Amino acid sequence: MKAINKIERMITGKTMVWGICVGLLLFSACKDLTEINIDPNGVGEEEVNPNLILPTVLTESAKLYLNLGYQDIAGVVQHTQKDAWFEDHNDYDWGGDQNWNGYYDVLRNNALLQKRAAEEGWEFHQGVALVMRAFMFGLITDLWGDAPYTDALKGEEGGTEYLFPKFDTQESIYTGIIGELEQANGLLSKSSSDYVGINSDADVYYGGNPAQWRKFANSLLLRYYMRISDKMPDMARTGIEKIAGNPAQYPIIVDAGDDAVLAFEGTSSVDSWPNNLKFDDTGGSNFRRVKMCATLVDQLQALSDPRLPIWANRVEVSMKVDPNLPAGTDKIEDGVRYLSPDKVGSAIVDQDPDYVGLPPSFSALPSSYNLNPTPGQTSYNPHVSFLNDSYKEASGPLLKARLLSAAEVHFILAEASLKGWATGNTQEHYNHGVEQSLKAWMLGDTYQGYIDNIGVAYDGSLEQIMEQKWIASWTAATEAWFDFRRTGYPALKAGPVAKRGVLPVRFYYMQDELNINRQNADQALERLEVTAYSQADNKNSAWSKPWLLQGTGKPW
Q: Give residue-wise pLDDT tens across range 246-279.
A: 999 999 999 999 999 999 999 999 999 999 999 9
Q: Do 495 and 467 fall within a single domain?
A: yes
pLDDT in tens, 447-466: 999 999 999 999 999 999 99
Q: Do 227 and 125 fall within a single domain?
A: yes
Residue 373: inside a domain, yes or no?
no
Q: Do 15 and 113 fall within a single domain?
A: no
* 13: pLDDT strictly greater than 50: no
Q: Do 15 and 71 fall within a single domain?
A: no
Q: Do 59 and 107 fall within a single domain?
A: yes
Instruction: Identify the CATH number of the domain in which residue 253 sits.
Output: 1.25.40.390
Domain boundary among 48, 70, 85: 48
* 14: pLDDT strictly greater than 70: no
Q: Do 274 and 128 fall within a single domain?
A: yes
Q: Do 180 and 150 fall within a single domain?
A: yes
pLDDT in tens, 331-387: 999 999 999 999 999 999 999 999 999 999 999 999 999 999 999 888 899 999 999
Q: Do 28 and 102 fall within a single domain?
A: no
Residue 191: inside a domain, yes or no?
yes
Residue 417: inside a domain, yes or no?
yes
174 within 8 A of 138, measured Cβ to Cβ: yes
Residue 9: inside a domain, yes or no?
yes
Residue 324: inside a domain, yes or no?
no
Q: Which structural domain, as residue segments, surrounds residue 541?
A: 54-294+386-556
Q: Do 471 and 427 fall within a single domain?
A: yes
Which CA distances in Å does 508 have to 97, 354, 439, 458, 464?
A: 6, 39, 37, 38, 31
DSSP class per residue in 59-121? HHHHHHHHHHHHTHHHHHTTSEEESSS-HHHHH---TT----HHHHHHHHHHHHHHHHHHHHT
Q: Do 40 and 174 fall within a single domain?
A: no
Residue 327: inside a domain, yes or no?
no
Q: Do 280 and 425 fall within a single domain?
A: yes
Query: What pLDDT does residue 21 have?
Result: 34
Residue 368: inside a domain, yes or no?
no
Give the closest residue to 421 by CA, choosing from 548, 181, 234: 234
Residue 318: inside a domain, yes or no?
no
State the total domains in the chain: 2
Q: Do 419 and 481 fall within a single domain?
A: yes
